[in-house]
Amino acid sequence: MKRRKFDVAALPAKAGGEIDDRLQVSAPLRRLFNKVFPDHWSFLLGEIALYSFIVLLLTGTFLTLWFDPSMEEVHYNGPYTPLNGIEMSRAYESSLQLSFEVRGGLIMRQMHHWAALLFMASIVVHMLRVFFTGAFRKPRELNWVIGVLLFWLGFVEGFAGYSLPDDALSGTGLRIAHAIMLSIPVVGTWVATSLFGGEFPGTVILGRLYIAHVLLVPAILLGLIAAHMGLLVKQKHTQWPGPGRSNDNVVGVRMFPGFAAKGGAFFMVVFGVIALLGGLFQINPVWLFGPYKAAVVSAASQPDWYVMFLDGSTRLMPPWEARFPLWPGHHYTLPPLFWPTVFLPGVLTMLPLFYPFIEARKFKSKQSHHLLQRPRDVPTRTSLGAMALAFYFVLMISGANDVLAEKFHISLNAMTWAGRIGLLLLPPLAYWVTYRICLGLQQHDREVLAHGMETGIIKRLPNGAFVEVHQPLSPVDAHGHPTELPYAGWVVPKKMNRIGALVPTVKGFFFPVEEAAQRTLPAEAPVSPAPSREGIGSGKH
Amino acid sequence: MSTHTDVDFDVKDPSLTRFDLVKEGARRDGVEIVHYAPRFPVPGTRAEKRVERTIAFMLVLSGLLGLGFVVAYIWWPWKYEPGNGLDKLYNPVLGITLGGSLFLLGIAIVTWAKKLLPEEVSIQERHDVADQAERALTGATILNMVDETGIKRRPLLKGALLVGAAPLGVAAAAPLVGGLIKKPDHILFETAWKPADGHKVKLTREDGSAVRPEDVSVGGQMTVYPGVPHGASNEHADSPVLLIHLREKDASELRANLKNVAVNAEDGGAIWGNFVAYSKICTHAGCPASLYEQQTNRLLCPCHQSQFHITDNARPVFGPATRRLPMLPLSVEDGVFVAKSDFRVPIGPGFWERP
Amino acid sequence: MTFDDSAGAAGPPREARRGRLLASPVRRSRLRRRVFAGLRLVTALAIVGGIYTAFAPGSQAEDTPKLTEAAQLGKRLYDQSCATCHGPNAQGVQGRGPSLIGVGSAAVEFQVETGRMPAARPQQAQVERKQPMFTTEQAQQMGAYVQELGGGPQLPSGDNLREGGDVAKGGELFRVNCASCHAFSTNGGALSSGKFAPSLEPTTDRQLYAAMLTGPQNMPVFGDNQLTPQEKRDIIAYVQFQKQDKDPGGFGLGRYGPVPEGLVIFLVGMVSILFVTLWIAGKS
């Protein structure tokens, strides 16, 4: 390299060289660039959660610049005339100011709330994907456990967040949370008075929720997300079975540039969808609800969707109260609220946490699994999942049962009873139906592998019988009978055009079919213009 | 990745192309590029140009929308005005421009990646079989650490360490827990209706004015608060009461039912004339149970749909609530309603110490 | 006394209501057929009843005091459409309809103008709003007749009862007194066993005033001593303000709260993003 000549084109290489001299990063960096990611739409679901979390951090930081979690009583005096002169907490006033007096504040508030709903929605959908494909199996149990914790942390974070504006709806939610704490046996009243600093609502709860919402829980979330992704990188992604794919490799594209470009672009898409939602759909219009007053409530008081299933379980709970007359003059109460709001979430946390280990024990499986399973191939697990989903849906719908009753002119009491009965009947039914469907699908796969696929051509035999002509997938033996192919754990073609018999195959909208065909690799990277290799590593000269 | 560097490979060999280097790098990282082909083997075809134009169009449109966002953000009338003005479109315009811009940028980059980046299939090997030798070495190192401290053969230190560290651990937790912890005391058993210095508490409206019997029509209900300073504020969140004026027929039904609940019947009965007052705080989860149906005499809580029968001491007849709404003992002094005493049972949701 | 019509009957409400909401021509013509069928039935019954009263011994018509002109017109309508259930002199008919003595013109105007009366189908959880059978003027005439028969609460004059109302004060009163059933959004909500608090969307100033004053069906009565006429105006001003104030945050989702918000995040947000994932991961 010549000294006095300043070569701009050589600058990046030179800078790279200087950095590598000091940090020796070229090998680890290249290993990262070359990391291979498999390509399937269902592997992007977790990314939605990650990207909504980033949007939550961005918009949330904006909101903290204006929001004030103080419960000091003030009188509103601002552009929203229907609340002029009304006594309210400073927290509620600052939410109104954020919505009406900060330029663009409303869209930030709405984007923050929509991003929170999307965060939780994508966590749930991602968890379902991981569950139904068996991606939680060894060696990924720990990441599944972290995922379950992330769900509950997101749940707490969301609840704390929508309680902050101190409007009448969130205050109602907080009051129920207080009642839930009270319902805990033995220590309930201590927990409630300690957290609220005395009687409900007191003056400290918003400040405490605020610090939990903006610092404590997000910090834990961030740490767990980092661990979640670190484990993903360390253990490499799972993949579907297919040509060339085994338990010992990952088939896909390298991280740079293909995967990274798509990932970055997908972030833009998720961000864009959240911005569109925040601009076009009004969410949590706190100005309609008014400030929280203990005597104020609205018909159709609901929590956000991810809390709604617990509201539903509370609504369906029969009025069963346990009283313990332990000794004369000392009677104790276990309120019915305890079961659906403390006991049930406890069970719902423990069951998924231990599920991977329980399943491994039941299936006597000790080795590592990197190939995913199609839901139909593990009917027990799939049916258990369907059962859990049915349970969850009944609870969620019951959480909205007053709105549904009013909108569709159904008796509210009938909705409650339908929910109670449905909660007992639908999960076992879902299990049974799913099991049958899984077996049916399995059988059809094996049939096609054994006899070939249906062609729709009907042939009449000399004896007068009609048979359908099958196209075998394998070579036929001397008698014209196809040899039975083994099932490979992946999609079996069932339509003629899937094997290119009728029209060109529509490739990959749903299934990215990797081609196993070996092609000769070009000697030169087919990017144009191809520069000479002198550019590389010039920093090392 | 030491297993991959054993092949003789000279990076300075001038006959190697750059892609040879890429392949070698990938190989050293355990990655084999098995398929690699340009999307457009012949550069400059019409199809390729079309893809380029599409991507460029989306990028420019994304930029325009981004510009539109800034313009709208600055110049669109954004101040809230009642009614149906342009300000009501401020938020949607921001959403469409910002969201559209981001969305299109994303779509453009995906198109770029899908249509212009070379087609590629790479295979990376997994190496997740634990090295038993390494494991043994690390295990020995850890065990050696323990040995080095000699904790096993020095029981005195073991005990002393425990005695020394445990209180410190408690000390660390003490301010965290101790600062928060608060004794429940009697707050769950008392409300602002408790007579202070022998003065019975008046039933008041939100503005503090006293309530007279003629203020509530037959078949009417009124939310009333204790007539104490800040009685209607959240300081006394346990005190809101629903005052109901029953029809004669319903009132006599309630009078007949009063004896079903001992505390409601004592001291001459908790109702006054055809008026009855119930705590508004639901005995289930603490929401204000205030959806009063004046013909069926049911009181519904909107949070979990517990229903209470007004003419039977607010007996829970449906939903998850197990306890009756407590009745506030009513009386009239100098023509205005007062509470004869505090509620005779704790109000609100159940808790462990509740008899 | 309130205008108790629980023993009465309900109209063809559910279909009619939906039909009106959907406003499709097919539905509307079916609605019209049903309304006319109901009308014919009621008229026929009224004629039979009228003939009966005309020939019944000691017809009470002569006993009534001198009626004003509006009340006389109202009486004619009343005898035709209401007397079957509420009795020829509004004293009520056991098992059919309650007495209207003392309910006042406010109750009559509310019930007739919102189409709840005449009700056509008995034994429903509650009588619902439907297309009114009478004009406002006719309803007021009937109101005048019932008023002169037995007295009761009356509405102030004029169609604009929000004038001079303080929206902020009204909002505060609305949240304490009304929102528990009609919801913060004024959209209504469910009550026990199939009953519901209706949406205030189609409700006029006079109807709001009359509802508060008379407590129709299961709604509690808010007499003038509890909510002064000025406070009623405040509440009306607030309700009408909320209906006219467009949502500042975009599409309001019917102001139903977290339920439609949850639907939107899955049906709009999640579905659109899922389509993008299919496209991203798909082979080009």
Calpha distance C131→C115 (Å, rounded): 5
Kindly identify which residue of chain C lies nearest to residue B296, measuring between CA atoms.
Answer: C218
The answer to whether residue B354 is domain-embedded is no
Whether the predicted pLDDT of A520 surpasses 60: no
Same domain assignment for residues B92 and B145: no
The answer to whether residue B42 is domain-embedded is yes
Calpha distance A499→C130 (Å, rounded): 60
The answer to whether residue B141 is domain-embedded is yes
Is residue B313 within 8 A of residue B324, CB to CB? The reply is yes
Model confidence band, residue A64 (pLDDT cutoffs 50, 70, 90): very high
Mean pLDDT of A62-76: 94
The pLDDT value recorded for residue A528 is: 42
Q: Is the Cβ pair C269, A299 closer than 8 Å?
A: no
Rounded percentage of chain B residues whose pLDDT exceeds 70: 98
The answer to whether residue B18 is domain-embedded is no
The pLDDT value recorded for residue B53 is: 95
User: Over the stretch A212-225, which tens digit does the pLDDT of each residue have?
Assistant: 999 999 999 999 99
Kindly identify which residue of chain B lies nearest to residue A268, measuring between CA atoms.
Answer: B106
Model confidence band, residue C7 (pLDDT cutoffs 50, 70, 90): very low
- Which residues are B272's β-sheet partners? B275
The pLDDT value recorded for residue B353 is: 87
Q: Is the Cβ pair C258, A82 closer than 8 Å?
A: no
pTM for the whole structure: 0.88
Model confidence band, residue C121 (pLDDT cutoffs 50, 70, 90): low
Calpha distance A15→A380 (Å, rounded): 57
Best mutation target, A305, A397, A404, A515, to test chain C (most C CBs within 10 A): A305
Whether the predicted pLDDT of C69 surpasses 90: no
Model confidence band, residue A384 (pLDDT cutoffs 50, 70, 90): very high
- Which residues 251-290 in chain A show a CB within 8 A of chain C? 262, 265-266, 269-270, 273-274, 277, 279-285, 288-290
Same domain assignment for residues B134 and B96: no
Residue with the two structure tokens 């159940």? B350
Query: Mean pLDDT, chain A, as a whole number?
Result: 88
The answer to whether residue B184 is domain-embedded is no
Report yes or no: B252 at the A interface, CB cutoff 8 Å. Answer: no
Calpha distance B288→C235 (Å, rounded): 21
Rounded percentage of chain C residues whose pLDDT exceeds 70: 75
Whether the predicted pLDDT of A537 surpasses 50: no
Residue C186 distance to chain B (closest CA, Å): 14
DSSP of B178-206, one letter per residue? HHH----TTTTT--TTS-BTTBPEEEE-T
Mean pLDDT of C102-106: 81
Q: Can you count the helices (H) and strands (E) in chain B?
A: 7, 12
The pLDDT value recorded for residue A324 is: 87
A522: left (phi over 0), alpha (psi -120 to 50) or beta: beta
Report yes or no: B45 at the A interface, CB cutoff 8 Å. Answer: no
**Cα separations in angstroms, C58 against C55, C63, C64, C83:** 9, 10, 12, 17
Calpha distance B286→B289 (Å, rounded): 8
User: Over the stretch A17-51, which tens digit does the pLDDT of each residue have?
Assistant: 999 999 999 889 999 999 999 989 999 999 999 99
Q: Which domain holds residue B331?
A: 201-339
Same domain assignment for residues B136 and B53: no
Whether the predicted pLDDT of C243 surpasses 50: yes
Mean pLDDT of C227-242: 93
**Cα separations in angstroms, A179 against A175, A191, B241:** 6, 11, 18
Of A31, A188, A402, the CB nearest to B352: A188
DSSP H helical ranges for C82-192: 83-86, 104-113, 136-150, 167-177, 179-182
Of C181, C217, C226, the CB nearest to B222: C226
The pLDDT value recorded for residue B89 is: 93
Report yes or no: A508 at the C interface, CB cutoff 8 Å. Answer: yes
Calpha distance B178→B316 (Å, rounded): 39
The pLDDT value recorded for residue C216 is: 87
Same domain assignment for residues B207 and B334: yes
Same domain assignment for residues B277 and B321: yes
The pLDDT value recorded for residue C153 is: 83
Q: Is the Cβ pair B221, C220 closer than 8 Å?
A: yes
Domain boundaries, chain A: 36-241+251-319+329-362, 374-451, 453-488
Contacting partners of chain B (3+ CB pairs under 8 A): A, C
User: Over the stretch B227-262, which tens digit does the pLDDT of each residue have?
Assistant: 998 889 898 999 999 999 999 999 999 999 998 888
Taking every pair of Cα atoms in chain B, the longest distance, rounded to a whole number of angstroms, is: 110
Chain A partners within 8 Å of B239 (Cβ)? 294
The pLDDT value recorded for residue C17 is: 42
Rounded percentage of chain A residues whose pLDDT exceeds 70: 91
Same domain assignment for residues B143 and B262: no
**Cα separations in angstroms, B132 against A10, B1, B88, B139:** 46, 17, 68, 10
Chain C partners within 8 Å of B233 (Cβ)? none
Same domain assignment for residues B210 and B313: yes
Best mutation target, C240, C241, C283, to test chain A (most A CBs within 10 A): C283
Closest alpha carbon to A215 in A161, A145, A144, A134: A161
| Ranges A238-242, A516-520, C120-124: which has the least confidence | A516-520
Report yes or no: C219 at the B interface, CB cutoff 8 Å. Answer: yes
The answer to whether residue B308 is domain-embedded is yes
Calpha distance C104→B144 (Å, rounded): 96
* CATH code that applies to domain A36-241+251-319+329-362: 1.20.810.10
DSSP at C93 = B
Same domain assignment for residues B293 and B230: yes
Whether the predicted pLDDT of C275 surpasses 50: yes
Chain C partners within 8 Å of A273 (Cβ)? 269, 272-273
Same domain assignment for residues B103 and B151: no
Instruction: Count structural domains, chain B.
Output: 3
Contacting partners of chain C (3+ CB pairs under 8 A): A, B
Same domain assignment for residues B92 and B157: no
User: Over the stretch C249-267, which tens digit does the pLDDT of each residue have?
Assistant: 999 998 888 999 999 999 9
The answer to whether residue B292 is domain-embedded is yes
Whether the predicted pLDDT of A313 surpasses 50: yes
- Which residues are A324's β-sheet partners? A332
DSSP at C118 = S
Which of the residues in chain B have pLDDT under 50? Answer: 1-3
CATH number of B290's domain: 2.102.10.10
C158: left (phi over 0), alpha (psi -120 to 50) or beta: left
- Which residues are A253's β-sheet partners? A37
Chain C partners within 8 Å of B302 (Cβ)? 180, 189
Residues 6+ positions from B74 with CB-CB distance below 8 Å: none
Same domain assignment for residues B205 and B235: yes
Mean pLDDT of A496-519: 50
The answer to whether residue B296 is domain-embedded is yes
C-alpha A139, offset from chain centre? 21
Chain A partners within 8 Å of B280 (Cβ)? 295
Mean pLDDT of A380-391: 96
